[in-house]
Amino acid sequence: MATTLPRIGLRVLVHLLLIVLALFMLLPFIWMLSTSFKPIAEVFHTPPILISSHATMDGYHNIFNRGADTAFTNTAILATSTTLTSLFFCTLGGYGFAKFRFPGRGMLFAFLLATMLIPPAVTIIPKYRIIVELGWIDSFLAIIIPNAASAFGIFFMRQYISSFPEELLDAARIDGCTEFGVFRRIVVPTIAPGMISLGLIFFMSNWNNYLEPLIYLKSPGKFTLTQLMMSFQSPNGESPFRDIMAVGVISVIPLIILFFVFQRRFVEGITQGAVKA
Amino acid sequence: MQQEAAVHTGIQSTREPGALARWWKEIRHNRWAYVFISPFYILFAIFGLFPVGYSLYLSLHDWNGVRPMEYVGLENYRYVFSERGDLFWTSVQNSAIIFLLYVPLMTFLALVLAVLLNSGYIKGFRFFRTTMFMPYVTSMIAAGFVFQIMLGSHEGMVNTVLSDLGLPTVGWLDTIWGTRVSLAILVTWAWLGYNMIIMLAGLQTISQDLTEAARVDGANNVQAFFHITIPLLRPVILFSLVLSTSGTFNLFNEVVSIAAPDGFKGGTRYSILTPMILIYNTGFRHFEFGRASAEAYVYFVLIAALTFFQFRYLGNRDK
């Protein structure tokens, strides 16, 4: 009985600490949003201003004059097409590994997993030369094609498809479905939730990708949002931080919306790959 | 019977014609499986395997992409290991320091948060999980810039608040240790939620009975945490550590944005230069393709060794 009060106190304290941590997590988002609406004089101000009384849309006007609409479209096209292509080939590959017992399967799968250990630093230079030879500099193909089938994605979909009942596949085969027909008509509709989970992870990393656009997309007309933010900074003196934050806001918002709509799928996507590994 | 026959005739041929035929039949029967998995192997051959080999070849040459390639033997490796190549080792050392600055703390915090959220002790499970995880979906370029604005030395919000509280201000972005700590804070902010989520998923696979049993035997919560939960979660913790290791050495977007416009120079006197940025610079800014490849290979070996030791010493010892 005597321990009740300290226990409640402890529980309140733990909750308070968690709230502080949650605020730390939210603060950068709040600050980004708040800064994007400030007049320039208030970006760095003593005392700091959270909600400006001189709120302005100037930042947003500026960025749309400097190509934010093109960059947004580029990012959306690039992220969507890379995600869909990759999702298709990863699901196909995952299905191949999950539902066929073919000679060499174990070895091929071990090889697939081993490729995940190669750090990107080792391949970037030759990869760049290959892209140059293919004439894909400044083309989205430079990013879409090499990412079209990832080892992680195939591993993920294999896990997901493994539990799929064999009887359904056999029934469809007896009904005269081709192998690709079985995949398209029977497998894909059933494992759609898994595809959404993986698709969200792909979309997020493609949307936020910076290194590959930096290497392959050279002309400003092809820039993505991450490149646009980096291109705004001036080499000496003050960078237009308020405008960079406005680009930040339009780059973060679509993902936050996706995250809230598909939160369960997102979490599933993260944990499927991790825990079973 | 047939198998026995195959063994007995093994002297003439390793595979009896029947076995070979059956093997071929298996392949033909599963031909669609090969078609389905082939895109990965074709793409990997072109954009993965060939570059890995070509990188090794390049590392033995001097090449700027324009002049004819010149064979130089191990010269590029000698450079990396000589005094002139010490920037590479600075970048390795930086990564190790940044790793030590945040990984132990972040991993422990993620674990504690996961246990708290899993135990039902905390009200508002969804709210906390959502807020902790939100940074993970954020562009690190955008995040780096916000942190730069908040941590700015003179009029940055954090220093302004510190000085209002009568505390000394910190050179977050213009001192060697300041930049490292700032980067560590940014990365913790970005990855804490992710690590918490995978540990939460790990916890859900642990039977509640074990911790219950320990408690019946008189263990308190803290003892149960250290003696039951942590050992059982070992594979998940290992996974998270391995990811954090390669993640720290590969830091790129976080650095170039938080230290912009000097990000590609690695912050204050190379304080947060990472191997990934160095290799990028050598290759794509100085066009020393051969030297960049040699750096990449040394880095590859280092990362492989680190991963190996993590599995060796932190992996499941009981097995």
What single string gives the DSSP state of each residue in A70-119?
Answer: HHHHHHHHHHHHHHHHHHHHHHHHHHHHHH---TTHHHHHHHHHHHTTS-
What residues in B contact A145, CB-CB < 8 Å? Answer: 43, 47
Q: Which chain B residues in 238-277 lie under 8 Å from chain A, judged by CB atoms?
A: 239, 246, 249-250, 252-253, 256-257, 260-261, 275-276
pLDDT of residue B3: 43
The arrangement of secondary structure in A62-276, i.e. its CATH architecture, is Orthogonal Bundle (1.10)
Mean pLDDT of B150-173: 89
pLDDT of residue B120: 83
SS3 per-residue string spanning chain B: CHHHHHHHHHHCCCCCHHHHHHHHHHHHHCHHHHHHHHHHHHHHHHHHHHHHHHHHHHCCEECCCCCCCEECCCHHHHHHHCHHHHHHHHHHHHHHHHHHHHHHHHHHHHHHHHHHHHHCCCCCHHHHHHHHHHHHHCCHHHHHHHHHHHHCCCCCHHHHHHHHCCCCCCCCCCCHHHHHHHHHHHHHHHHHHHHHHHHHHHHHHCCHHHHHHHHHCCCCHHHHHHHHHHHHCHHHHHHHHHHHHHHHHCCCHHHHHHCCCCHHHCCHHHCCCCHHHHHHHHHHHCCCHHHHHHHHHHHHHHHHHHHHHHHHHHCCCCC
| A216-270: pLDDT as tens digits | 999 999 999 999 999 998 777 678 999 999 999 999 999 999 999 999 898 888 8
pLDDT of residue A268: 85
Assess whether pLDDT exceeds 70 at residue B4.
Answer: no
Mean pLDDT of B240-263: 92
Domain extents in chain A:
1-56, 62-276
What residues in A contact B283, CB-CB < 8 Å? Answer: 124-125, 128
Q: Which chain A residues in 50-69 lie under 8 Å from chain B, judged by CB atoms?
A: none
Taking a C-beta distance cutoff of 8 angstroms, is the pair A131, A216 a contact? yes
Give the H/E segment covering residue A273.
helix A263-275
The verdict on A177 touching B (C-beta cutoff 8 Å) is no
Q: Whole-angstrom Cα distance, residue A217 to residue A143?
A: 9
Count CA within 13 A, CB hemisphere, residue B247.
22
CB contact under 8 A, B261 and A128: no
Assess whether pLDDT exceeds 60 at residue B153.
Answer: yes
| Mean residue pLDDT across chain B | 89
Assess whether pLDDT exceeds 50 at residue A9.
Answer: yes
Q: Whole-angstrom Cα distance, residue B284 to residue B64?
A: 10
Taking a C-beta distance cutoff of 8 angstroms, is the pair A129, B55 a contact? no
Taking a C-beta distance cutoff of 8 angstroms, is the pair B132, B193 a contact? yes
Q: Which chain B residues in 169-228 lie under 8 Å from chain A, judged by CB atoms?
A: 189, 192-194, 197-198, 200-202, 205
A80's tokens:
């969507």
Q: Whole-angstrom Cα distance, residue A20 to residue A26?
A: 10
CB contact under 8 A, A149 and B47: no
Q: What is the pTM of this model?
A: 0.92
What residues in B contact A256, CB-CB < 8 Å? Answer: 134, 137
Ranking A51-60, B10-19, B73-82 by mean pLDDT, the lowest is: B10-19
Assess whether pLDDT exceeds 80 at residue B73.
Answer: yes
pLDDT of residue A81: 98
- Residue of A98, A117, A146, A39 lying closest to B245 (CA atoms): A117
| B101-118: pLDDT as tens digits | 999 999 999 999 999 998
Assess whether pLDDT exceeds 60 at residue A275.
Answer: no
What residues in B contact A124, CB-CB < 8 Å? Answer: 51, 279-280, 283, 296
Q: Determine the residue of chain B that is closest to A111 in CA distance.
A: B41
B300's tokens:
């590859």
| A142-165: pLDDT as tens digits | 999 999 999 999 999 999 898 888
B20's tokens:
């070979």
pLDDT of residue B261: 87
- Residue of B71, B94, B57, B26 lying closest to B250 (CA atoms): B94
Q: Which chain B residues in 113-132 lie under 8 Å from chain A, judged by CB atoms?
A: 113, 116, 121-123, 127-132
Per the document, the length of chain A is 277
pLDDT of residue A45: 84
| A167-223: pLDDT as tens digits | 889 888 888 888 999 999 999 999 999 999 999 999 999 999 999 999 999 999 999
Assess whether pLDDT exceeds 50 at residue B1.
Answer: no
pLDDT of residue A237: 63
Q: Whole-angstrom Cα distance, residue B136 to residue B143?
A: 10
Q: Whole-angstrom Cα distance, residue B118 to residue B116?
A: 5
pLDDT of residue A5: 78
For B133, residues 6+ apart whose C-beta sits below 8 A from its C-beta are A259, A266, A267, B193, B194, B196, B197
Taking a C-beta distance cutoff of 8 angstroms, is the pair A229, B145 a contact? yes
Q: Which residue from B37, B50, B200 is facing A108, i.e. has the nearest CB?
A: B37
Between A49 and B284, name the one with better pLDDT. B284
The verdict on B43 touching A (C-beta cutoff 8 Å) is yes
CB contact under 8 A, A31 and B239: no
Taking a C-beta distance cutoff of 8 angstroms, is the pair A228, A67 a contact? yes
pLDDT of residue B11: 44
Taking a C-beta distance cutoff of 8 angstroms, is the pair A201, A258 a contact? no
A47 cis-preceded (ω within 30 degrees of 0):
yes
Q: Which residue from B34, B198, B289 is facing A270, i.e. has the nearest CB?
A: B198
